[in-house]
């Protein structure tokens, strides 16, 4: 159990059967009346954000989230297969659980599989990946001062906006959280 007075950003708590992560919290002491804690909570399963206030003495059960490194193996019939490299156990997850988190992840890459009480609720891709461009318009020499971009398709099938000087078969580095081009490798 964790009291509302001990809330910190990133702490996960369980309220009414749902698991929430604290995004923001603020201790408020009004001039008149009792103090309270104003929080912004993100439901880690649905992704919805709610605002809730607590009395500082209120207690909530703290939720333990397991983040396990697993290798993404392949996709077959709408299921995504992951393997634990320590026990070699395989787990199959559906599209709803995975979402679009594997948009920039190649087969055999390591990912973090997040679960609560043995139930998997999401997959976290590595923060940065290096992918080869399979299709884009040819680069234009000397047209780099404008900061213009063009669409490029990478080997996983995702589309990324890249600078004009990037060509087909170039290897680029991508931030998987935002889907932005970072650099050529």
CA atoms within 13 A on the CB side of 8: 5
Q: What are phi and psi of 173, to 5 degrees?
A: -105, 135
Looking up tokens 């599209």 gives 95
Domain boundary among 40, 60, 80: 60
Regarding whether 96 and 114 lie in a shared domain, the answer is yes
The total number of structural domains in the chain stands at 3
Query: What does the H/E/C string look like for 61-82?
Result: CECCCEEEEEEEEEEECCEEEE
Out of 60, 77, 100, a domain closes at 60
Q: What is the pLDDT of residue 144?
A: 58
- CATH number of the domain that 144 lies in? 2.40.50.140
pLDDT above 70 for 139: no
Could you tell me whether strands 119-124 and 159-163 are parallel, antiparallel, or unpaired per DSSP bridges?
A: unpaired
Instruction: Pinpoint the alpha helices (H) of 24-101.
Output: 95-98
Q: Which of 74, 95, 124 is the last residue of a domain?
A: 124
Q: What is the CATH number of the domain that holds 41?
A: 2.30.30.30
**Rounded alpha-carbon distances, angstroms, from residue 185 to 18, 75, 103, 138:** 42, 27, 20, 18
Indicate the pTM of the whole model: 0.70
Question: What is the Cα–Cα distance from 154 to 83, expressed in whole angstroms?
Answer: 24
Confidence of residue 23 (pLDDT cuts 50, 70, 90): confident
pLDDT tens column, 83-115: 988 898 888 888 887 878 888 888 888 998 888
Same domain? For 137 and 175 the reply is yes
Instruction: Tell me the residue range of the domain where 93 lies.
Output: 66-124
The span from the first CA to the last CA of the chain, in angstroms, equals 47
Both 33 and 21 in one domain: the answer is yes
């Amino acid at each position: 159990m964790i009291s509302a007075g001990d809330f910190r950003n990133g702490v996960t708590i369980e309220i009414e059967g749902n698991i929430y992560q604290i995004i923001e919290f603020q201790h408020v002491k009004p001039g008149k009346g009792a103090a309270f804690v104003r929080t912004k909570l993100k439901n880690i399963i649905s992704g919805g954000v709610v605002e809730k206030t607590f009395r500082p003495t209120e207690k909530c059960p703290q939720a333990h989230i397991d983040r396990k490194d697993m290798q993404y193996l392949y996709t077959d019939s709408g299921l995504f297969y992951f393997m634990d490299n320590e026990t070699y156990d395989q787990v199959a997850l559906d599209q709803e659980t995975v979402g679009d988190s594997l948009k920039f992840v190649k087969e055999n890459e390591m990912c973090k599989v997040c679960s609560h009480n043995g139930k998997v609720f999401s997959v976290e891709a590595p923060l940065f990946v290096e992918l080869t461009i399979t299709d884009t318009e040819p680069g234009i020499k000397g047209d780099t001062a404008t900061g213009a971009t063009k669409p490029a398709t990478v080997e996983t099938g995702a589309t990324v906006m890249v600078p004009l000087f990037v060509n087909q078969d170039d290897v680029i580095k991508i931030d998987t959280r935002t889907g932005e081009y970072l650099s050529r490798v």
